[in-house]
Structures are given as C-alpha cells and as structure tokens.
C-alpha cells in the first residue's frame, strides 16, 4: 500500500474511507468502515506493518454505519480505546445513526436499498471527545467541532502535518470541496460553518470519508 503522506494510509470499505496512521510505536485508525468489512481493515493494517492486536487507538468522526459499522469486528482482536464525541458515542453504543435521514424522491429509494449495508452492531466507546482537545498522537491531533452532517460530528487536525481527517463534514468531489448538504445532513447551516472553519485552517491534505484532497 502506498502512503498518502508519510505514515498515513487509506483503506476503504466499498463506499467509505478509513485511514491508518503509523507513527513509530503508535498506530491508529480514523473510522472503521461498513459492518462486515472489519477483516479487510485488519488485513490492511497488517499490510502496512501494524499488528492489529497492538493498535493504539480508534478514532470515530461520527455515528454513521459506514464510519463505525465495523467497530465490534476491530475490537474483537484488540482493546484499543475508542474515541468519539458524546452524542455520537451514544448512538454508536446503540448501533444506530445519530440523526434521522431526510431523503427526498430518488434518494428515498436509494437509502432504502443501501440501508441494510449500513446496519452496524452496537460498539463500545471508551473516551468522550471534547472540541479543542489535543489527542497525544502524531504530534498532537486536535479535535474540531464540525457538527452539521450529524449533531456532534468531529474532525481531527494534525496541525504539524497539515493533515485534516474530516469524516463527512467536507464533501470531496473530484478536486472540489463542498459542505455536507442534502438528505443526510442534520443541519445545513451548521454544516456550512464547520466547512468554512476547516478550510480556514488551510490543510494541505484532507482525508475525507468519501474522498481525498491534496493541495
């Protein structure tokens, strides 16, 4: 696997990205992907030289099935602490999404078809995140309040590296960056503010849930 940035790798589960970060003896994953795809993520950890049993931490941006769905599968081989914001953690522990979807027209049909794919089992969250907190990984990973897509979505910013893990708070379409919007967005106005706040940080690499952007 080729790194996106030194020590940083992309794994994917059909529709969504997970990121594997290796920094000396520390290793972490940001989001774990769809239920049923845990084995694939564990395999990719091994490919980049990590023993999944020794994983340092699991960070979750928000409670959508394509981001936390494989949590129980990953935790079945280790006891890496799981980090999420309080509201998202509550949903993760119930195995549900943190907000209802508001699909219209064709989207309704589409969500109906893909919903079973996204149905995760409940997961355990060990640490509740607070905005502004700096996690002791990769030179300091800052927790950003990026609510909008979901009620308490968070992003992780490695200032030293200029790398932003934005979950679904930034849509990456080709080379274009857009805020979360439409039927899967809890609050579009907040989503737009979170989007602008993150762009103002001038990241050089954006690791998104459904795309990667490099300046």
Distances (CA, A) of 130 to 37, 144, 153: 28, 8, 11
CB of 26 to Zn ion, least distance (A): 26
**C-alpha to C-alpha distances, 204 to 7, 162, 163, nearest whole angstrom:** 15, 5, 6
Q: Which of 84, 168, 177, 206 binds Zn ion (CB under 5 A)?
A: 168
- Contact between 145 and Zn ion by CB under 5 A: the answer reads no
Judged by beta carbon, residue 34 or residue 42, the one nearer Zn ion is 34
Q: Quick one: 75 or 99, whose CB is closer to Zn ion?
A: 99
Chain position carrying tokens 């990026």: 146
* Interacting residues with Zn ion between 56 and 75 (CB under 5 A): 64
The residues, any chain, with a CB within 8 Å of residue 25's CB and separated by 6 or more, are 56
Minimum gap (Å) between residue 90 Cβ and Zn ion: 16
Piece of 24-32, 115-123, 135-143, 163-171 that binds Zn ion (CB under 5 A): 163-171
Q: How many CA atoms lie within 13 A of 142 on its CB side?
A: 15
Q: Contact residues for Zn ion (CB under 5 A)? A: 64, 168
């Amino acid at each position: 696997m080729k790194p996106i940035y030194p020590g940083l790798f992309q794994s994917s589960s059909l529709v969504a990205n997970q990121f594997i970060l290796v920094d000396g003896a520390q290793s972490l994953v940001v989001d774990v992907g769809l239920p049923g795809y845990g084995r694939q993520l564990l395999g990719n950890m091994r490919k980049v030289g990590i023993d999944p049993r020794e994983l340092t931490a699991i960070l979750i941006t928000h409670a959508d099935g394509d981001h936390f769905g494989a949590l129980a599968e990953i935790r079945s081989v280790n006891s890496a602490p799981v980090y999420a914001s309080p509201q998202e953690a509550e949903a993760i522990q119930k195995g549900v999404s943190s907000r209802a979807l508001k699909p219209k027209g064709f989207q309704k049909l589409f969500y109906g078809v893909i919903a079973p794919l996204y149905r995760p089992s409940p997961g355990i969250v060990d640490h509740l995140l607070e905005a502004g907190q700096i996690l002791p990984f990769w030179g300091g990973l800052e927790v950003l309040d990026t609510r909008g897509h979901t009620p308490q979505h968070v992003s992780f910013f490695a200032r030293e590296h200029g790398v932003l893990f934005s979950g679904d708070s930034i849509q990456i379409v080709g080379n274009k960056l857009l805020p979360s919007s439409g039927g899967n967005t809890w609050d579009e106005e907040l989503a737009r503010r979170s989007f602008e706040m993150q762009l103002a940080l001038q990241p050089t690499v954006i690791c998104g849930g459904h795309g990667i952007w490099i300046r």
